[in-house]
């Protein structure tokens, strides 16, 4: 284990083909192990490992609890579970989502950086938004190497572009070149060792649910007047990082962009609930008015007409706001 390089690969939209292209020319006798996270929906059936085993020389396995990390093998994160490194081995964690994802690239990169320090090489491929930037930053702080797919050649350039903006990138390369760079790096001496920052250790513990409490957040950052879009709790702005991001004491973590996206989704969901409730209220009031009318209580029936008209106006405004047409 002491001589293995740990290659960490993260990707999102357009990432499966990118991962395949990076690994297809890597020999199984390489002095490195590969840990890979590709974003997927929580209910997605994992089939990527079976597919990848048919395309590359190295053996591909899905991450399992307490799995040893061996050179010449590829370990894939599974849907709805963070892949993390604990005590030098792979662990699956259902810890809080980061940047709306589980598995999260940041979680894998950070935990591996803390565990392996200067042996870590982080590679960020095609994807939207900015998951992976914080993880690459952690790898650099722990003495590792940061690499991105050349943004101009990525199917979706958001992730590598954001990393390029906020992290000192060592290599930016096309997919076809990354395998050769990996081979060169594994043949070189390790970079100089660095002391692992204590804040990164604490954040890694949060993702694996070893520690998550308000005291931890006070250590990591400053409390701000924003609420967590996942649980509604208070947020802390994390310090000692280039990209602005936030974390709640439960452990949910957001960049500015992912927090805004989550707030938009919550707002849309709330508007749909309001619209449904108003339409149900209208139906109920119409039934009440009809009941009064059938019993000869015309005056009581008419008393509901103004209220029904008011509900109709609210429904029309909501529909206009949500751009819903009959």
Tell me the three state secondary structure of residue 93: strand
Order of strands, sheet of 32-38, starting from the edge strand that comes earlier in the sequence: 59-62, 73-76, 32-38, 5-11, 120-124, 145-149, 171-173
Asked about 39 being catalytic, the answer comes back as yes
**Those residues with Cβ within 8 angstroms of residue 124's Cβ, 6 or more apart along the chain or in another chain:** 10, 11, 105, 132, 133, 136, 146, 147, 148, 149, 159, 160, 163
- Distance, CA of 147 to CA of 129 (rounded, Å): 17
Separation of alpha carbons 281 and 304, rounded Å: 12
Q: Give the integer Cα–Cα distance in Å for 200 and 216.
A: 11
Query: Which residue(s) pair with 91 in the sheet?
Result: 84
| Cross-sheet strand order for the sheet of 245-248 | 221-227, 234-238, 245-248, 253-255
- The answer to whether 12 is a known catalytic residue is yes
Rounded to the nearest 5 percent, the helix, strand and coil shares of the chain are 45, 20, 35
d(Cα 96, Cα 86) in Å, to the nearest integer?
17
Dihedral sign, CA of 77, 81, 82, 83?
A: negative
Is residue 5 within 8 Å of 31, Cβ to Cβ?
yes
Q: Within the chain, how many helices (H) and strands (E) appear? A: 11, 13
Phi-psi region of 302 (alpha: psi -120 to 50; beta: other; left: phi over 0): alpha
- Give the C-alpha separation, 86 to 200, whole Å: 14
Catalytic residue flag (residue 131)? yes
Q: Which of 93, 131, 157, 252 is catalytic?
A: 131
Report the catalytic residues. 12, 39, 131
């Amino acid at each position: 284990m002491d001589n293995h390089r740990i290659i960490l690969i993260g990707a999102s939209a357009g990432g499966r083909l990118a991962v395949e292209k990076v690994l297809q020319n890597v020999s199984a006798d390489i002095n490195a192990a590969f840990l890979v996270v590709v974003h997927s929906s929580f209910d997605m059936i994992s089939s990527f490992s079976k597919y990848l085993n048919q395309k590359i020389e190295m053996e591909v396995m899905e991450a399992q609890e307490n799995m040893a990390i061996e050179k010449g093998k590829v370990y894939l994160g599974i849907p709805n579970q963070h892949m993390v490194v604990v005590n030098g081995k792979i662990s699956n964690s259902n810890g809080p989502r980061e940047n709306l994802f589980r598995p999260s690239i940041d979680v894998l990169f950070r935990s591996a950086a803390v565990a392996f320090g200067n042996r870590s090489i982080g590679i960020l491929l095609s994807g939207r938004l900015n998951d992976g930037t914080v993880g690459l930053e952690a790898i650099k702080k722990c003495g590792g190497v940061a690499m991105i797919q050349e943004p101009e050649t990525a199917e979706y350039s958001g992730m590598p572009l954001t990393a390029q903006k906020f992290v000192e990138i060592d290599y930016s390369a096309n997919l076809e070149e990354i395998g050769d760079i990996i081979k060169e790096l594994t043949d070189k001496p390790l970079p100089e060792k660095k002391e692992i920052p204590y804040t990164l250790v604490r954040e890694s513990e949060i993702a694996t649910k070893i520690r998550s409490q308000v005291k931890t957040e006070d250590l990591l950052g400053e409390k701000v007047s924003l609420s967590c879009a996942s649980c509604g709790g208070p947020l802390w702005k994390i310090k000692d990082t280039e990209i602005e991001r936030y974390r709640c004491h439960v452990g949910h973590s957001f960049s500015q962009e992912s927090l805004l996206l989550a707030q938009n989704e919550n707002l849309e969901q709330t508007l749909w609930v309001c619209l449904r409730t108003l339409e149900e209220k209208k139906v109920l009031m119409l039934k009440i008015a009809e009941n009064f009318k059938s019993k000869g209580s015309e005056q009581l029936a008419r008393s509901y007409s103004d209220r029904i008209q008011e509900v109709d106006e609210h429904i029309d405004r909501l529909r206009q706001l949500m751009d819903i047409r009959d």
